[in-house]
Structure 1
Amino acid sequence: MITQPLVSVICLCYNHERFLADALDSVLTQTYPNIEIIVVDDCSTDGSITIINAYLAKYPQIRFISTGKNIGNCAAFNTGLNASSGDFIIDFATDDVLLPERITQQVEAFKKVDESYGVVYSDAEYITDTSEHLYFHSQKYKPAPDGDVFAEVLRRYFICPPTMLIRRAVFEDLGGYDAMLAYEDFDFWIRSARKYKYHYLDKITTQRRVHDKSLSRGLYKAGDKMLASTVIVCRKAADLVQNEMEKKALAQRLKYEARHAYLTGNFKEAADLLAILETISGLPVSYRLISSLNKRKVNLSFLRKLYHLLRY
């Protein structure tokens, strides 16, 4: 009998009391036979630990790690990664849900590609905090590229993060997540896609929950720590681009991020992003105007609010 490769599911919990049981049940009911389950709690202040302890008593195969103090998502994941031994890794936030065939389907997809592929990602269903359907990822973010995706991850958002199954070798090569950042996705995509190909599996494998405390809900608010991390990642990306196509892709991203930073009153981050843009491609006339307004801290946040009101 051929042993299937070990898949480590690193379940990251921080105040996920309302969703934790659904999340853990979705891992325990996977059809894939060779799974390592590691629950990392980043010092939750709600009832999450009580639920975790109940699962540990019932399912002794679950391993548990407490960070002892709140260290943030990236460092908490690295703690779980260092304790894991799987050939493949899933970074699983315990407010999301894995569909039963998820791991089976993605491991099979990996078997169809060569070692140059480091990540398999897929479609996902977005759900509310009460598990009601919102939309599918593929309805909003398409097309989904396959192969060398470096320029595309520079240019735009298209990967649903919780759908990724990742070769352990990729994390070992990168040294895990950058623990200094407030979020991991963009940095991981940039650094991994520079060296490894991505394969898209056209299946819905995951339910991603959208709720008031989702990490992404804090994006582009005044004083946004995630935006400061975006600046750091864009600097890394500027060092990694190798040709004009990639420079244009990064310039497109920088324009987008700089606009939103300026229109949300994050003037320092807007200045930093515009400085990177100037180095990469120079500032177009419209962005010279934004730069001038940004230096004077002219508040035009109403324009962004008006745009979202009209569009949504």
Structure 2
Amino acid sequence: MSSTAPTADRVARADRLAPVEVAEVLALARVAGDADGADPLDEHVLLRLRDPEAPAVHLTARAADNTLTGYAHLDTTTPGDGIGVELVVHPAYRRRGTGRALARGVLAAASGPLRAWAHGDHPSAAALAVDLGFARARVLWQLRRPLTAALPEPTLPDGILLRAFRPGEDDDAWLAVNNAAFAQHPEQGRWTPADLRVRLAEPWFDPAGLLIAEDAATGRLLGFHWTKVHERPGSARIGEVYVLGVDPGAHRGGLGRALTTAGLAYLRDRRGLDRVMLYVDESNTAAVALYERLGFARWSAHVNYHLG
């Protein structure tokens, strides 16, 4: 197959994917992620792929032999805020028009503003975005840190205790703090009870890895550090600062730093990990400064492009 030949792929639209099609998409995403060093579909899309009732538009590209060569996901949950788009092309079928054909399908299927992620800030994605009139609007950095280097001791403010999350008991209080802490965040600040439940049901979830900071006198939840461990066959295990949040009324007491270091110590000492990553908006300068002071350094970038 010539890598420069024009694509003959068929692009099809569907509102639902059969289980076998979902498996094909997940396999394609794994291959692309291994090749690019960045997973092409974020957690939100992966969860929705496994939920047959989740509203979405699916575009699939297939070669003449029916091989899945590309996939695009349109999240139509809140079209007024922009339709979320993620697109991936199999590494063996790139530079032949598959990505552009899927992008044209996205434009034809959308009826409002588009918000498209380019995970890993791949040059081909940037070039396609420019050609189609998308504007670079937001940058999410992945930072990493070795856990073999020294960690500061977590020092909690006076009167605050640290404990593990209690599923079924802490859900509402956790959601309230999360949504208050991320009130201005386009994704994290809008979690519903269903969003939390689906993640608590994930095989990677461990209540011990969701550290809760509470007021010792009142039991009020003031902050949390939710850690995650990524385990993929053939890849080294890595921890993640999955979500770190502090109630707006508990800022300026050093609680965020204490929660961060406590979670890092948990990943190192309890889970036996030697490296950790996290995601942070480039524009969140306070958080970036905190993580850099704790030894994190930039690893990769994920770019959100807007149209309309």
Q: Give the TM-score of the pair, scaled to structure 2.
A: 0.26
Give 1 or 2: higher helix fraction. Answer: 1
Q: Would you tell me which structure has more strand in proportion to its own residues?
A: 2
